[in-house]
Amino acid sequence: MTKIKRHRGWGHLVTVPVAWAIVAANVLMIVWIVLSSLKSTREMALHPWSWPKHFIWSNYRTAWVSAQFGAGVGNSLLLIVGSGLACILLAAPAAYALSRFRVRSSGVHTALFVLGLGIPAQTMFIPLYVAFDRVGLVDSVWGLMLIYTGAGIPYALFLLTAFFRSLPVELEEAAALDGAGPGYTFWRIMLPLARSGLITIFVLQAIGHWGETFFALVMLHTKTTLSLSLYNFTQTMQYTGSRYSVLFAGLVILIAPLLVLYIVLGRRIIEGISAGYSK
Amino acid sequence: MRRRQPPLLAGVALAGVALCASACGGSSSGGAGAAGSGAGGDHLTIWSQWLKGQPGQQFLQAAVDDFQKQTGIKVTVQWKGNAVVKSLLPALNSPDVPTDVVETSASQIQNVLYPAGGMLDLTSAYQQQVPGTGQTVAQVVGPAATSLATPTDAAGQTTGGPVVVPYWASATGVVFYNGQNFPALESAAPKDWDAFFSILDAQKAKNRRPLAQDGSVTSYNAVFYNDFLASILGPDALNKAETDKTGQTWKQPGYLQAAQLVERLAKGGYFTDGYDASKFPAMENKWANNDADFNVNGSWLPSEVGPVAAPGFDYRSFAFPAVAGHSAPPLNVTVSGIGVLKSSKHQAAAEKFAAFLLQRGYQEQVATEMQNIPIAKDVPAPPAVQAVKQAIDAGQVNTVRSPASLADYNAKIYFGLDDKLIFGKLSAAQFIDSMSSDSADYWKSKG
Amino acid sequence: MASAIVVGSTTEDGRRPVGPGRRHSPFHRARRRMFVPFVYPALAVYMLIMVAPTLFTLWLSLNRWAGAGPMQWAGLHNYTAMFRDPVFRTSFVNTFWIVVGVGAAVFAIAFGMTILLQDMAGRRFARAVVFFPSLVPGIAISIMWGYLFNPDGLVNTLLADVGVHSHPEWLAQDNMFKVILIGMTWLSSGVYTVIFMAAVDRIPPELYQAAEIEGASAFQRFRYVTFPLMKDVVSVCSVLWCVGALKTFEFLLVFSAESGALPPTNIWNFAMYSYAEAFNPDGTADYGIAAACGVIVLLLTGLLMVLARRVLRRDADTY
């Protein structure tokens, strides 16, 4: 960080508290979600903003066992790790070639990929189901993983082309002078340099797919994911009663891994974002 | 550099594959249904609207266990939750539909799965004997519920036999109250809205807003106009006006009278403060804590507000009263139960299971374990909704349904204007004028 | 011909070898041979998962279909019916508000926060925290929204404590969409704040020193140093925002209706319109109209692509 003392206007006295108020609101929201998960549903409905009278830790057991949040955790982990890695392995070479090989059709190819950012899920699930059904990928975590991978490619490619473009060209030329082929240059030199960008993509995809319910609902029959269990739980409250506190325990279970991921990898993500977005 | 054309070509080729795959799936989905023998060795798969841990799931699981023991038919249940129909629809395109039975509400089956050509006509299943009752399925289910389990077209005509064997029912337009606060009402429910208005006025005189209403739920708001109109002009009056392409039917006097009753409720200060600017379930939760006296809702309300309600709350109910001088509107009932897929290879076993659930013992459990209304006529419902059950048993059931083809109209025209009426943003006369002109515009746009 | 110099482009552009001689070197020939093996695996998966179903959607938009069973040819009827539908026009206006209105607010807040946090103590902590809301599922926000804005909710209670008794009915239908827009702004601005702050970190401190010596105010520093050097980030972000915002959907659904029902039409956007045609709980699915609306969204995305290409063109070998 810069050490120069900058000129501060009196405006700072007004605006800095505003910034901190926004930060405080976000912290309070997380605290509120956690506290709500420890109340009884009645207490939560009648006194949503009070401190819990008793901490009801059993809400977590109820969420984990009877609302089946536990059953989906393994699948969710497999899905985000698998689809995240697959997406990067596919998109990174493509993004590299599109941004660095200077092939005439690069622009068209890139545009084709990026157009995928606009495809809405509700219009593509039926043909996907039919096609996957033919090849036995319905009710399969692998099939869902393939969808998440394919759906993630436009975003990953969009950011990674910008990222690779920002890397200095001299490295490749030096490698070429040493006799390295494009494959070697990519896997051994460029990919490691792009590490923070790759981690960023991985984490952003993980955040997106961790909470995905629509494709999971349609493609899985006997299996479940964490977010699908949560979705089902909210859908059933009409007949079993609005057990909001158990719902919030489930939400904490859903959010906590993301929060940990973000805190552990936070610095890297931010590095990746800054490099990735500013080409 | 001309050889870089493949992406487009590849895309078209792949799309061709997908097109063919789905088109072929669409046409072949109906054909696979060779009826199984129903003997042992069968393996029945059920997709259920319940989820593990719900009372409905516990009830159904116990029944399934008994069924397996008694018949030797192996049963696998997938607990899919409310989204069961949503996740089954795309699978109908498959030559290998993943379930034999779908267990959910008749309206979902009729609106979504039946038009897609997926459901089996259960006319023959209705002729089976229900074990231990000496009655057929048709007799236990009764004519009103059978009618609700039978698909109709846009004009309200049946298009075949029933596609669902229901085992429980729910009703909307039910007025709930706390029996502790109004002990007299249990034996003498208000005979019409004049009587009910005087009860409400008495509460208002005590500075209370007596009617809780979650205005954020449009379908709850529509109950008032629907039922006022059904009482005044009969249950088919709404469909008649909605399908009139000129919109002129709305100008007939009964339609205005029904709107005036809603206007009276809206402008007379009967609804809880903030009913038009709150988020479900805020208002029914207030009611469950005695901040309001009555809540017009569905038969599921006691279990829904259970975890939030004041201790000792005594749920009681009566059906939506008549408009003075008219007969009471028939109850709006939804039935739920067993639908069988056309593609199933175990149809006989599936039908047997449908009849199995209608045995007296299981029907009693629907009331005691599931806390819902059993379909069989003489089996009592939970005390909170016993009054509703009596009305159903007496045949006061609305068998005129809003056809699926009007769902779009309701979402785009009726619900929006009705919300404005119940929130007091439109007078009764303005409401009628808008319904009339917007209906005409809507049908004109549909061509 | 890509313009060689684009305002605000970074120095990498200058270093890139240009000229026909370099294009035909063995180095470039070897790389071009690898183009297909590098790009086509991703392209194949993408075509299979995304493009093929989309072409099917195009076909579907010309038919009437309940999701299974027979399909009925409808020609352009789905499109004409949709364009005549006043709710479709409402959806268009609302979509516009989300993409442009919320977008402007999000970017303004993200800029504001970036300036404010630029040299504030604890900025790392603040940066981590503003990202939180994007991790929280909509359903939690939706329930909290009720407790905040219900008539006896926290907002009104606090307002009453400070003596304000006349306030809007936050959740009334006329205001609901505005309150939802505010919620969206809050939830989205954190992500962009993080991105913008990261971009600012890459600006060499010497530039600020120079500005300091010139006696520039905080606003002037932003106007003449920070903003020009963030231009690329902002343009990439604005493309991403637009395509994401066009598809906004779950947020509207969980905010406005109880589970399984549709929200009132005055808050529908294109994505909700499409969803309602396919999943109206009381009706038969009409995938033809749902698909037609999806095609419109895709066309709008295509329009935004023009913008995307302007961002990408500088370095791709277009001509």
Out of B18, B219, B416, closest to residue C52 by CB: B18
ipTM field: 0.82
In the three-class reduction of DSSP (H, G, I as helix; E, B as strand; rest coil), residue B236 is classed as coil
**C-alpha distances out from residue B29 to A221, B101, B122, B125, Å:** 18, 15, 18, 22
Cβ contact B54–A231 (<8 Å):
no
Q: Most confidently modeled of B132-136, C225-229, C302-306?
A: B132-136
Strand partners, C72: C64
Q: Give the pairing type, strands B74-79 and B43-48.
A: parallel
| Residues A136, A75 share a domain | yes
Cβ contact C301–A235 (<8 Å):
no
Cβ contact C169–B23 (<8 Å):
no
Cβ contact C120–A16 (<8 Å):
yes
Q: How many CA atoms lie within 13 A of A86 on its CB side?
A: 20
C277 touches chain B (CB under 8 A): yes
Residue C51 has pLDDT above 80, yes or no: yes
Query: Minimal Cα distance from B112: which residue of C?
Result: C284
| Residues A119, A48 share a domain | no
Query: Minimal Cα distance from A237: which residue of C?
Result: C259
Token pair belonging to B418:
């009705």
Out of A112, A129, A236, closest to residue B7 by CB: A112
| Residues A78, A30 share a domain | no
* Tens of pLDDT, residues B349-399: 999 999 999 999 999 999 999 889 999 988 999 999 998 899 889 888 998
CB atoms under 10 Å from CB of A212, counted, come to 23
Q: Most confidently modeled of A93-102, A110-119, A167-176, B43-52?
A: B43-52
Q: Which string of DSSP letters, residue by residue, matches B379-414?
A: SPPPGGGHHHHHHHHTT-B------GGGHHHIIIII
Is residue A148, in this structure, part of any structural domain at all? yes
Chain A contacts of B80, Cβ < 8 Å?
Answer: 232
Longest dimension (CA), chain C: 78
Cβ contact C71–B278 (<8 Å):
no
Cβ contact B54–A241 (<8 Å):
no
| Residues A150, A257 share a domain | yes
pLDDT more than 90, % of chain B: 69
Residue A234 has pLDDT above 80, yes or no: no
> Given this model, what pLDDT does residue A134 score?
81
A263 to chain B nearest CA, in Å? 34
* Tens of pLDDT, residues C115-167: 777 767 777 788 878 888 888 877 777 778 888 888 888 888 888 888 888 87
User: Residue range A144-173: average pLDDT?
Assistant: 85
| Residues A77, A27 share a domain | no
CA distance A105 to A98: 9
Out of A199-203, A235-239, A256-260, least confident range? A235-239
C139 to chain B nearest CA, in Å? 13
Residue B431 has pLDDT above 90, yes or no: yes
> What part of C 81-110 touches B (C-beta under 8 Å)?
81, 84-87
Cβ contact B115–C284 (<8 Å):
yes
> Given this model, what pLDDT does residue B375 score?
95
**C-alpha distances out from residue C313 to A110, A111, A161, A276, C266, Å:** 10, 10, 11, 16, 39
Cβ contact B118–C277 (<8 Å):
no
User: Would you say C70 and C294 are in contact if contact means Cβ atoms under 8 Å apart?
Assistant: no
**C-alpha distances out from residue B214 to B273, B279, C250, Å:** 11, 7, 22
Domain of residue A261, residue span: 68-277
Please give the mean pLDDT across all residues of chain B. Answer: 88
User: Residue range A137-149: average pLDDT?
Assistant: 91
Token pair belonging to B244:
């009139």
User: Residue range B146-161: average pLDDT?
Assistant: 89
Nearest by Cα to C259 from B51, B408, A237, B283: A237
Cβ contact A9–C218 (<8 Å):
yes
Nearest by Cα to A160 from C29, C187, C39, C14: C39
Is residue A1, in this structure, part of any structural domain at all? no
* Tens of pLDDT, residues C54-85: 998 899 899 988 888 888 898 899 999 899 89
CA distance B184 to B200: 14
* Tens of pLDDT, residues B58-74: 999 999 999 999 999 99
Is residue A4, in this structure, part of any structural domain at all? no
Cβ contact A217–B83 (<8 Å):
yes
| Residues A167, A29 share a domain | no
Final residue before a domain boundary, out of A41, A60, A79: A60
| Residues A125, A26 share a domain | no
Is residue A6, in this structure, part of any structural domain at all? no
Chain C contacts of A126, Cβ < 8 Å?
Answer: 53, 56, 67, 287
Q: Which domains does chain B have, with CATH numbers?
A: 33-171+333-393 (3.40.190.10), 174-330+404-446 (3.40.190.10)
Is residue A104, in this structure, part of any structural domain at all? yes
Best of A62, A109, A221 to disrupt the B interface by mutation (most B CBs within 10 Å)?
Answer: A221
Out of B17, B279, B411, closest to residue C150 by CB: B279
| Residues A107, A218 share a domain | yes
CA distance B14 to B132: 57
CA distance C128 to C125: 5
* Tens of pLDDT, residues B90-101: 888 888 889 999
Cβ contact A19–C126 (<8 Å):
yes
Chain B contacts of A94, Cβ < 8 Å?
Answer: none
Chain B contacts of C85, Cβ < 8 Å?
Answer: 412, 445
> What part of B 251-310 touches A (C-beta under 8 Å)?
281, 285, 289, 300, 303-309
| Residues A197, A105 share a domain | yes
Q: How many domains does chain A have?
A: 2
* Tens of pLDDT, residues B203-246: 999 999 999 999 988 999 999 999 999 999 999 999 999 999 99
Q: Which string of DSSP letters, residue by residue, matches chain C?
A: ---S--TT--THHHHS--SHHHHTSHHHHHHHHTHHHHHHHHHHHHIIIIIHHHHHHHHHTTEE--SSS--EE-TTHHHHHHHH-HHHHHHHHHHHIIIIIIHHHHHHHHHHHHHHHTT-TTHHHHHHHHTGGGGS-HHHHHHHHHHHHSTTSHHHHHHHHTT------TTSHHHHHHHHHHHHHHHHHHHHHHHHHHHHHTS-HHHHHHHHHTT--HHHHIIIIIHHHHHHHHHHHHHHHHHHHHT--HHHHHHHS-TTSPPPGGG--HHHHHHHHHH-TTS---HHHHHHHHHHHHHHHHHHHHHHHHHHHTTS---
Angle A106-115/A69-100 helices, nearest 10 degrees?
Answer: 160
Q: In the complex, which subunits touch A with 3 or more CB pairs below 8 angstroms? A: B, C
Cβ contact B56–A239 (<8 Å):
yes
Residue C298 has pLDDT above 80, yes or no: yes
CB under 8 Å to C155, separation ≥6 — which residues?
Answer: C148, C149, C167, C170
Is residue A194, in this structure, part of any structural domain at all? yes
| Residues A159, A114 share a domain | yes
* Tens of pLDDT, residues B404-419: 888 899 999 999 999 9
> Given this model, what pLDDT does residue A277 score?
61
Architecture of the domain defined by C78-313: Orthogonal Bundle (1.10)
CA distance B137 to B358: 8
Chain B contacts of A243, Cβ < 8 Å?
Answer: 307
Out of A138, A222, A241, closest to residue B78 by CB: A222
Read off the pLDDT band of A199 (50, 70, 90): confident
Is residue A3, in this structure, part of any structural domain at all? no
> Given this model, what pLDDT does residue A238 score?
52
Is residue A5, in this structure, part of any structural domain at all? no
Q: Which string of DSSP letters, residue by residue, matches C10-31?
A: -THHHHS--SHHHHTSHHHHHH
User: Residue range B179-187: average pLDDT?
Assistant: 92
